[in-house]
A and B are shown apart, each in its own frame.
Chain A
């Protein structure tokens, strides 16, 4: 029976896709009388079915070798585009994380989107994301992964642009689409360049090919860079990270998904193509460099944010930077583990933050405060999420970071230093937000702030429970190192870095005697981080400026030179007609002259040989 569910695991993406279609009739323009709620309920049920299916399939594939299903798609000449579906514990587990977090986010959205009429569009898009992500997890082909990534890019555009009557939403959706699209297009170059080299797009065959491949280092470097560029845009890595900041204009439930799982889609592909990146030392260093810069930059920018959602979005970039570091150092298993623990914790954090925003209205952390006594559930969820994200010993990410740190400390000590610094800064940032939102005295905006109602509290608390159970599950699955083999130095340093970050931040932000708003160094430096290294200006001055200039030049050339030439031909004929008509003078004698001239010319022409002969005689 379980085997049956495993063999039909390709249905997992189909349930949410069905939900996406079924949600549409409750658009306000179609079913006008009942309101939009059924679309939400249908999708929650569909997610639940997909989750159950995954659970049943997981029992069949647990501790079993991976199986592969082949779904024929297209076969032209010598190109065989068959969709390979990999059925292994990892892929089915990934679909369960995706459907599980989706289910919780959709239930959360039932509460959060209470006062909104756009459920059909919203749930339809959420379900499309869920389907796309499950498809990505199951699909074992770089080509089809690329297709799904592109569909999800479109989905991001539509989902961020849900409330499109807000101007910032429109610009945010635009930037998210274009930035991710640029990365995707580079990825497409890589995908296409890979085929003549390897002859396959199947991930497992690619890994085999890469183990023995012997290609020109320059080709390998370019290929690796192109393949990194896709995940770089998807995972909001520097310098393609601005979109995630602007994507925070969208509704919170979609933010839950975006921050926890959607950005992981890029990381998932990155992990799968790790063997190809490993072919080129240059691409590996580029991966590490991007990861390090993003991790450091993201956490520092996060500390300087006052928008509560943006404090988290930069941490998303930073943690995806960790995944880049892990992939760069060849630790794909650690990267997968980190993605699991990170996704759960980040989803919990965003839910908690969303719960605060929902009835405190403002997202400005400097206008919030003193919620701890009034909002225990949200506060506890925040603490658990934060602890699950940074290296706090019993919780999930600690183990992933220890694994990462263990490897780094022996092979790349300076990267381990980066890991420690980023962990400190991330803890500092999370504690700062906690201190500002839940600690201190109530401010005007948070004076009366009731705890949220059940549809938002329930998924939040379930996820909190799950975050707390992650280490137990990992222990059960024997993914955790034994206490005996645990590198206590690394673990101790990580835990200490968290403690330092937390302690320092608590001292500053939970201390009423420390003047708020806090001043670090000069105002210029603070603004530098608060405005995200002025990335927006940077884009405007470089890429946007150049493309704008080039397109304006081309448009001008087209309008005035290309069109002008063609119009000139028309103008010449019109004006020559206008001018030449005066030959018809109305004077009969002029006509007679014309006729005579014509005849004379014709005569000269016809008798030219004779005339030239005569002149020869005369001249001679």
Chain B
């Protein structure tokens, strides 16, 4: 991934040297040509072509925005009810993520969406303890997080 980006920047620089044009426009055109060459030779690299990685990062951001709007609407609906019918609770959720940054990003996304909040991480990074505002069904909540965030994060870190 980083290696491919470095090669691409180097190719843009070489393109600027060849044209003897030190402008942003020539850098952009050299970078685009570098992307085309890298796409042509993508079979040589052990990792996947890095535009797939950029695509999955953008997808994760869009999923986050969608979840933010949906859960914020749900929280507002709970607040505006005359009688409180919420059942708060804390549940443990096993996660299948390897690296530290993945656990951090998942915890931040869960905390930033209203209604759920990461309370603690187990010492072996295998379990998150999540507090939920309204918890009618624990399994459904776990399934919801798995479907939305964890899959997308695994997609980002896929080599």
A and B interact: no
Task: Give chain A's interface residues, CB within 8 Å of chain B.
Answer: none
